[in-house]
A and B are shown apart, each in its own frame.
Chain A
Amino acid sequence: GQNIDQPTEMTATEGAIVQINCTYQTSGFNGLFWYQQHAGEAPTFLSYNVLDGLEEKGRFSSFLSRSKGYSYLLLKELQMKDSASYLCAVTDSNYQLIWGAGTKLIIKP
């Protein structure tokens, strides 16, 4: 079956760095996405990885290792507004998007 695993919840301190991991087992791979979803709102696109390595976008970076079926989202200089759920999603060989359950990130002052 197809499966995406990410921690249910994480807590971090304002100004710190946090890494949210995602592991996947899918039938084929055509890319991995990270989305941010604030409570009561729709998801917003953060990043896309299709090749191994690190993609950096301001305070947010995303890493992919296809051989390990592993990705992480790194958030630096955390701000209170970063409190949200972070969703990992993988496109399989049929270009179907498989969603993880999301990681709820709680930022404390």
Chain B
Amino acid sequence: GAVVSQHPSWVICKSGTSVKIECRSLDFQATTMFWYRQFPKQSLMLMATSNEGSKATYEQGVEKDKFLINHASLTLSTLTVTSAHPEDSSFYICSASGTAEHQPQHFGDGTRLSIL
């Protein structure tokens, strides 16, 4: 149980393109979904936390107009990187946790984004 599906796995696109990444909880309802970014050989960095039906809470230094997050249902959250540039190239990972207390975050497989 507790499967989180994330896609696409890989995206390579030109600078200026907007890229949408989907995160789905397949077998549980995810009250909260999290979006992380990880640069090579560095720690996970939390970008934002989203609760179903409400606006996402962004971490300090993360541009909310550049990284648009939508959590429209209890099983789906999307991250859109708008007008992506080479410095946005990174490994983006979503996670989701269920409704009960003390639930672990379960991670999607991540999306490797390369902006040329």
Binding site for B on A (CB under 8 A): 30-31, 33, 35, 40-45, 48, 50, 87, 91, 97, 99-102
- CB contacts (< 8 Å) of A40 on chain B: these are 91
Q: What is the bound-complex CA distance between A41 and B110, given in angstroms?
A: 7
Are the C-beta atoms of A42 and B105 separated by less than 8 Å? Answer: no
Tell me how far the C-beta of A94 lies from the nearest C-beta in chain B, rounded to whole angstroms: 11
Q: What is the bound-complex CA distance between A44 and B108, given in angstroms?
A: 9
Q: Which residue from A41, A45, A100, A102 sits with its C-beta under 8 Å from B106? A: A45
Is B104 part of the binding interface, using a Cβ–Cβ cutoff of 8 Å? yes
- CB contacts (< 8 Å) of B35 on chain A: these are none
Chain B contact residues, majority secondary structure: loop
- CB contacts (< 8 Å) of B93 on chain A: these are 42-43
Are the C-beta atoms of A99 and B107 separated by less than 8 Å? Answer: no
Q: What is the bound-complex CA distance between A44 and B110, given in angstroms?
A: 12
Is B13 part of the binding interface, using a Cβ–Cβ cutoff of 8 Å? no
Q: Which residue from A97, A100, A101 sits with its C-beta under 8 Å from B105? A: A97
Q: What is the bound-complex CA distance between A4 and B93, given in angstroms?
A: 21
Are the C-beta atoms of B102 and A50 separated by less than 8 Å? Answer: yes
Are the C-beta atoms of A31 and B102 separated by less than 8 Å? Answer: yes
Q: What is the bound-complex CA distance between A99 and B110, given in angstroms?
A: 18
Per-residue CB proximity of B88-100 to A under 8 Å, as 1/0? 0001010100000
| Residue from B43, B91, B109 having most chain A Cβ neighbours under 10 A | B43
- CB contacts (< 8 Å) of B102 on chain A: these are 30-31, 48, 50, 91
- CB contacts (< 8 Å) of A48 on chain B: these are 102, 104
